[in-house]
Structure 1
Amino acid sequence: MDFFETRLEIIEAVAWLVTVTAGVAAGVLFARRSHDRLTGTLAAASAIVSEGLSHAEQEDAFASMSAGLARLFDADSVALALPTADGRLACVGSFGYSKPEEMFLRPGEGISGRAFVTGEPIVAPDVSKAEHYKPAGPGIKSALAVPMRYQGRVIGAFNVESRTRRYDESDLDVLVPIVDQIAAVVEGTRLRREAQERAAAELKARQELQAVSAVVLAGVASVHDLKASLHSMITEIADRLGWESMALILYGDDGLLYTRAYFGYPEYSTRIAFKPGEGVVGAVAQSGKGRLVPDVSLDPDYLDIVGATRSEMCVPLRAGERVLGVLNAESPRPDVFSREDFELLATLADQMSIVIERARLAALERTALEGMRELDKLKDDFVATVSHELRTPLTSINGYAQTMLVRADDLTEADRRSFLEATVRQCNRLSTIVESLLLVSQLESGEIRRRREFARLEDLVANAAEASGAEDRLVCHDESGVGLVTDPFRLHHILRNLFENAAKYSPAGSPVLVRVCPRADGACVEVHDGGSGIPKGAEEIVFDRFRRLGEPGTSGVPGTGLGLYIVRRFARDLGGDVTIARSTEPGYGGALFALHVRNLDLEPA
C-alpha cells in the first residue's frame, strides 16, 4: 500500500511536472512570438519614421509619419500636437481630420492635453468611459494619448483614435518608443530651424551693417561728388540686401520729384518727374509718412510705370522737419518686403539724408567761400578802379590849377576859360563817381523810397541824356508820346547810366540810338550802341556790383563798375528788368540794352 501510494504520488508528481513543463514551454513560445511581433511592429514603425524624415518640409514629414502610424495601428485619425507661443496645443501633423489647422487644445484638455500636462500615457479602450476624452470626430470607440518626451522634457503629445480597434496597455509597448523617436525628430527639427534662423538673422544683420556702412563710406566721398556717391550707395545697398530695384528720388527746384540714383529700373522710368501726392512716391513725399505695400494692385495710389512691380516700400528722406525726397524699393514678387525690411529702409533713409544734407551744406559752404573770394577780388578791383578814376580827374584839376597859378600873367582870357571849363568837367566826373558810390550805399541800406508819379518818357529821356553828357550823340525815336506812372528818380538814374555806358563803349563821336516802344503794361526803352558788344557768356555778370570787363585800372574806358548794377537794381524795383543782346540795327553793331519798365498805375498802391 505504501508502495502504491508512493508510486501514485510519483505519477502525480510527474504529471504535474509535465504540465508545468508544457505550460512553461507554451509561455516561452508565446513570449517569443510576442517578442517577434513587437520587434516586427517596432521595425515597421521605425521604417515609417524614417520615411517621414525623407521629406524636406517639416509639415510633409509629420503628415507622412501620421499616415503611416495610422495604418500600423488601424487608426482612423492621428494627431501630433505641439505647444504654441500662447500656451495652447496646436496640431502640426495629422491624419484623418478635416481641418487640423483649426484644432487647438488647452493644456489638460482632452486626453492629449492631459498626457501633455501629466507626462503619463493614457489608454482609453472605451472612450465613452474615459474621463478626459474630448470627441474630435464621430464613431470613435478607442484612443491612445502619449506624451512626447525629449531628454526628460515633455515637448508635445501624440494621439491615435480608432472606430474598430480596441486599444490596450500592450499597444503602449509599441507606441511609446515610436513617439520617443518622433520627439527626437521634432526637437532636432526645431534646433535645426533655430540654427537656420540664427544663421539667417546673422547674415541679414551683416548685410544690413554692410549696407549702412556703404552709406557712411559713400557719405565721406559725397562732399566732392554727390551724384556718384548716391549711385554708389543705391547699387551697394540693393546688391547687399538682394532687393531687385531701388531708387532715390529728390525734390527739384521746381517742386517736382526727380530720380537722382537708381538700381534695377528701366532707364525710361527714371526720367519721369512726380508731382507731390502723385503715386506712392508722391504720396510719401507729400505726407512725410512711409508706406509698405504688399500688393501694389490693391493700392489706389500706385502708378503702373514698371509693369513687373508687385510689391513696394517707400520712406521719406528728412532733414529736420523738411522732406528732401523719398527712398523707394520695389519687387516683381508680391508681399516680399517684411516689416523689418521696411524699418531697415527707414534707417538707410535717415543715413542718406545726413549724407545728402552734408553734401548740400558743403556745396553751400564752397559757394559761399567762392563768393567771398570773388567779392574780395571785386572789392580789390573796385578800390583799384575808384583810385584810378579819382586820381585821373584830381590830377587834371590839380594840373590846371597849378598852371593858372604859376603862369597867370602869361595866359590869355581864352586859355583861362578853357582851363576852367576843363576843371569843371573833371569836377563833374568826380561828382558822378561820388554820387554812384552814395547811391549804391543807399540802395544797400534801403534808404531810397519808391515814389509814384506820372511822367512822360520823352521828358525823362531828355533829362537823363543831358545829365549823362551824351545828349549830342543820342538819336531818339519816340513818336508815341508814352506817359506812365513811375518813380522818376529811379528811372532817371537807369536811363542816365544806360546812356553813359553806351557813349563810353561806342567809338568817339559815333551816335547812340534810343528807341521808345509802348507796351500794354508800360514801355520798353532800347539803347543801341556802336561798340564791340558784350562778350558771350558775360550778359549777366556785367550787372554784378563792382564788375568791369578787363583788368581794373587798365581799361581805356573810365568807370567804377557800379552803373549797370544800379540800372538792374532800380529796374527790378520798378517791377521791370533790363536785358542784353547783340544789336541788329543797321549802323549799330554793338550791344542792345532793352529796359522793360512797368506802369505802376496798374499795380495796387
Structure 2
Amino acid sequence: MAAPTRSPVPESSDNPGRASAQAAIAELGQVALVQNEIRDVLDVAMYLVCEVLDVELAKVLRQESPGQPLTLVAGCGWHADVEVGKATVPCDRDSQGWYTLATEEPVLYDNLAGDERFRRSQLLEDHGVVSGISVMIPGLYRPYGVVGAHTARRREFTPTDADFLRSVANVLGSAVENHRIREQIEGKVRYETALAECAQALLASSGEDRLMHALEALLISTQTTYVFVERNVMDPELGFCSQTIAEAEPPGASDSDDEAEYWNLTPWDRMPISRSYLERGEVFNLIPSQLEGVEYELYAEDPYPVKSELDIPIFVDGEWAGLIGFADEKVQREWSAGDISLLTTAAKMIGAFWERETARRRLEEMSQAKDEFLASISHELRTPLTSVMGYAQLLRDRDDDLSGPLRREAASSVLKQAADLEHIVNDLLVAAKAEMGELTVTRVPVNLSAQTSQVLEEYGGRSAGIEVTGMKVRALGDPARVRQVLRNLITNALRYGGEKVRVEIADRSGSALLRVIDDGPGIPPEDRERIFQPRQRVASTPGLTAALGLGLTISSQLAQMMGGDLVYRYEGESVFELSLPVSS
C-alpha cells in the first residue's frame, strides 16, 4: 500500500536527511484533533513513521479481543495483495505480536531471522524484513494493538527511534479512545433522536402509517439495511403465525414484492429457535448460516437473504405479541449494545402503542354498545308504556261507554304491561348492582316445577301453548332470581323464537337443569359466545334483539352466583339451559 501524498516534514537538525520527530508528533496530534475518521489518523501516522524513521514499511495491527489474531488496519509499503482490513498476523504465545503486547516496551531487532525472543510472522518474512521496531498501542481497558516500523536493510534502531514510535503509539491510543467516546456520544444522540421521533410518530392522534414512520426514524440511526415489526396472529389454516405489519428500508433500496410476500405470514412452527428465545422475553441475535433444521431451510429459501438479524420481543399486557427487528443483507455483523438498547426501548414503545390502540378500540366499542343499549332499552320501555297510557286514556275518556268486560280487559292489559315494565326495571337494577359489586343471592332449596308454574301464571293466556315436561327437582338457589332468569328466557322465546316453546326440568349428574326450548332458527355460531357478555347487540340476527343482551347477561351472572351456569346451544332447536346444584 503506497504512502499518502503529503507535504514533506521538516528535517531534523541532528540527523540531516531525516524528518524531525518533534514536528511529526506535533502534526499527528493536530490531525488527531481535527479528523473525525480514525482511519485518516492512522494513514497519516503511517506516512510520518516511514518519513521520520526512514523505513519502507509501517503498520498498525488491531486486536479485537484477547487471544485473537491481529488485523492490519493501516500501513504503507506493503505488497498490493496485502489487503488492509483483512490481512492478519498471529498473536499466540511466541509470536512477535504477543511478545510486543506482553512486554509493554518497545521491541527493537536488527536481525529478525536470528531473533530468538519470538517467531517472525509470515507477513514480515514475505517482505524480507530484517530490522525494525514494534510498540504496543495503549487503550483504556486493554491494548488497542501494535504499531511497527520495518526495513529490509540491516540496521540498529536507537532509543530515540523507539521513543518516537512510542509517542506515535500514545497519540494513536488517545485518538482511538477519543474517537470511541465521540462515537458513543454521537450514537447516543442518534438513538435518543430516533426514539423521540419514534415516540412522536406512535403518539400521533391519527394516521394508518404511524408505525411505519416510527420504523423510518429508527432506521436512520443505524447502519442496518432493514427494520421491521411482526405481530403474532392465529391463521385458520397455518395456525400460530408471525405477520409482518410494518417495515422500512433506506432510500433507493430494492422493493421486492417476492420478499414481502415470502415473509408476510410465517408459521412459528417453521421458526422454533427464534420462538424459543422471543416467547421467553430474550433478545435473539440471529445468524441464518448458523441455524438448523426447518428454520435454516426457511432462511435459505429467502429470495433476498439476510446475513444477520437482531430480534427483540414485544409484549402487550404481559403476553408475547410480536417482535421488532433489524436485518442486514450485506454483512454478518455484531449488533452493538446501543442497537439492542434502541430496539428494546422501541419494543416497549410499540407494546404500549398496541395496548393504547386496543384500549381505544374497546372504548369505542363500549361507547357504541352503550348508545345501542340505551336505544334498545328506550324501545323496550316505550312499548309497555304506550300500551299503559293508551288503556289509561281509554278508561278515563270513555269509562261510561265501556261495558264491565271491556273495562276488566283494559285493566288487565294495564296490569300486564306494568308487570313487563317492572321486570325491565328489575333487570336494570340487577345489572347496576352487579357492576357495583353489590348484587347478592340466597341459596335455599327451590322447587323448579313450582317456580316455573308461578312464572307462567304471570303470562296469562300467552303461556297457554308452553309445554312443561320433566320431573320434580329441587335445586339450591334464590327463588326470586330463579324466576327472574326463567322469565327472561321465556320472554325471549315467546318474542323472538319459534312457534313452539317448551320448558324441560331434569336432573343430571348432581345438577338440576331448567331448559327453555323453542323451534326458532337459533342464534348464529359467531354470536353464541358473546350473547352473555354485557351490552352485546345482535339485533340483525333472527331470534335475538338488542334488548335481549341485558337479560342474558344478568341471567348468566345470577346463575353463576347461585353456583350454576347458563349456556346456549342449537340442536335443531334453540336451547337455553340453566344448571343449578341439586338440593340434597
| TM-score normalised per structure 2 | 0.56
Amino acid at match of 2:283: G
Structure 1 counterpart of 2:96: 100
Aligned pairs for 1:200-599 within 5 A: 215=198, 218-219=201-202, 223-225=206-208, 229-230=210-211, 241=222, 243=224, 247-250=228-231, 258-261=242-245, 267=262, 270-273=265-268, 279-286=273-280, 288-292=281-285, 297=290, 304=296, 306-308=298-300, 311-317=308-314, 325-329=322-326, 336-339=333-336, 342-376=337-371, 378-379=373-374, 382-383=377-378, 385-400=380-395, 403-404=398-399, 407=400, 415-446=403-434, 447-455=438-446, 457-469=448-460, 472-476=463-467, 478-479=469-470, 484-505=475-496, 511-515=500-504, 519-520=508-509, 523=513, 525-528=515-518, 545=535, 549=539, 563-573=551-561, 575-579=564-568, 584=572, 592-599=573-580
Amino acid at match of 1:327: I
The CA deviation string for residues 523-581 of structure 1, in whole angstroms up to 9 with x for no partner, is 36142156x8779987656986596959xxxxxx9x89854454444345454234375
Secondary structure of the structure 2 residue equivalent to 1:306: helix
Q: Distance in 1 between matches of 2:309 and 2:489?
A: 60
For residue 336 of structure 1, report the CA deviation from its aligned partner.
Answer: 1.5
Contact 1:295 1:334 in 2 (8 A): no
Q: Sort the Cα spacing of 1:519 and 1:397 in 2 relative to 1 into closer, same or farther, 3 A.
A: same
Q: Distance in 1 between matches of 2:548 and 2:133?
A: 105
Secondary structure of the structure 1 residue equivalent to 2:578: strand
Q: Distance in 2 between matches of 1:400 and 1:478?
A: 40
Secondary structure of the structure 2 residue equivalent to 1:450: coil
The CA deviation string for residues 419-474 of structure 1, in whole angstroms up to 9 with x for no partner, is 13531441242133124313431342145433334545444433322233356433
Contact 2:312 2:325 in 1 (8 A): yes
Q: Sort the Cα spacing of 1:565 and 1:322 in 2 relative to 1 into closer, same or farther, 3 A.
A: closer
Amino acid at match of 1:463: Q
Amino acid at match of 1:597: L
Contact 1:249 1:257 in 2 (8 A): no
Q: Distance in 1 between matches of 2:506 and 2:394?
A: 46
For residue 398 of structure 1, report the CA deviation from its aligned partner.
Answer: 4.7
Unpaired runs of 5+ residues, structure 2, are 1-16, 18-41, 79-88, 121-129, 136-145, 248-258, 301-305
Q: Distance in 2 between matches of 1:91 and 1:443?
A: 76
Q: Distance in 2 between matches of 1:322 and 1:96?
A: 49
Q: Sort the Cα spacing of 1:493 and 1:191 in 2 relative to 1 into closer, same or farther, 3 A.
A: closer
Structure 1 counterpart of 2:14: none
Unpaired runs of 5+ residues, structure 1, are 1-38, 40-57, 73-77, 113-122, 149-154, 551-556, 585-591
Contact 2:225 2:328 in 1 (8 A): yes
Q: Distance in 2 between matches of 1:242 and 1:319?
A: 29
Q: Sort the Cα spacing of 1:212 and 1:448 in 2 relative to 1 into closer, same or farther, 3 A.
A: closer
Contact 1:478 1:516 in 2 (8 A): yes
| Greater fraction helix | 1
The CA deviation string for residues 262-282 of structure 1, in whole angstroms up to 9 with x for no partner, is 76687369432489x974444
Contact 1:318 1:350 in 2 (8 A): no
For residue 375 of structure 1, report the CA deviation from its aligned partner.
Answer: 1.8
Contact 1:91 1:100 in 2 (8 A): no
Contact 1:222 1:355 in 2 (8 A): no
Q: Distance in 1 between matches of 2:287 and 2:58?
A: 34
Q: Distance in 1 between matches of 2:356 and 2:558?
A: 32
What do you get for the CA RMSD once the two structures are aligned? 6.4
Q: Distance in 2 between matches of 1:222 and 1:293?
A: 35
Amino acid at match of 1:290: V
Secondary structure of the structure 2 residue equivalent to 1:596: strand
Secondary structure of the structure 2 residue equivalent to 1:337: coil
For residue 196 of structure 1, report the CA deviation from its aligned partner.
Answer: 11
Structure 1 counterpart of 2:581: 600
Q: Sort the Cα spacing of 1:401 and 1:347 in 2 relative to 1 into closer, same or farther, 3 A.
A: same
Q: Sort the Cα spacing of 1:568 and 1:522 in 2 relative to 1 into closer, same or farther, 3 A.
A: same
Q: Sort the Cα spacing of 1:484 and 1:336 in 2 relative to 1 into closer, same or farther, 3 A.
A: same
Aligned pairs for 1:50-199 within 5 A: 99-104=95-100, 109=105, 112=108, 158=149
Amino acid at match of 1:261: I
Amino acid at match of 2:277: A
Contact 1:281 1:328 in 2 (8 A): no
Amino acid at match of 2:575: A
Contact 2:133 2:150 in 1 (8 A): yes
For residue 496 of structure 1, report the CA deviation from its aligned partner.
Answer: 1.9
Secondary structure of the structure 2 residue equivalent to 1:523: strand
Q: Distance in 1 between matches of 2:134 and 2:534?
A: 91
Secondary structure of the structure 1 residue equivalent to 2:277: helix
Secondary structure of the structure 2 residue equivalent to 1:336: coil
Secondary structure of the structure 2 residue equivalent to 1:492: helix
The CA deviation string for residues 55-102 of structure 1, in whole angstroms up to 9 with x for no partner, is xxx99xx9xx99xx9x99xxxxx997889999xxx9978999972221
Contact 2:274 2:284 in 1 (8 A): yes
Amino acid at match of 1:337: E
The CA deviation string for residues 26-66 of structure 1, in whole angstroms up to 9 with x for no partner, is xxxxxxxxxxxxx9xxxxxxxxxxxxxxxxxx99xx9xx99
The CA deviation string for residues 132-182 of structure 1, in whole angstroms up to 9 with x for no partner, is x995589xxxx976799xxxxxx96646799xx7x68xx99xxx99x99x9
For residue 106 of structure 1, report the CA deviation from its aligned partner.
Answer: 8.0
For residue 357 of structure 1, report the CA deviation from its aligned partner.
Answer: 2.1
Q: Distance in 1 between matches of 2:372 and 2:526?
A: 20
Q: Distance in 2 between matches of 1:560 and 1:272?
A: 40
Q: Sort the Cα spacing of 1:280 and 1:137 in 2 relative to 1 into closer, same or farther, 3 A.
A: closer
For residue 364 of structure 1, report the CA deviation from its aligned partner.
Answer: 2.2
The CA deviation string for residues 328-372 of structure 1, in whole angstroms up to 9 with x for no partner, is 445689962232xx4224313423532452353245235424533
Q: Distance in 2 between matches of 1:467 and 1:492?
A: 11
Q: Distance in 2 between matches of 1:338 and 1:386?
A: 66
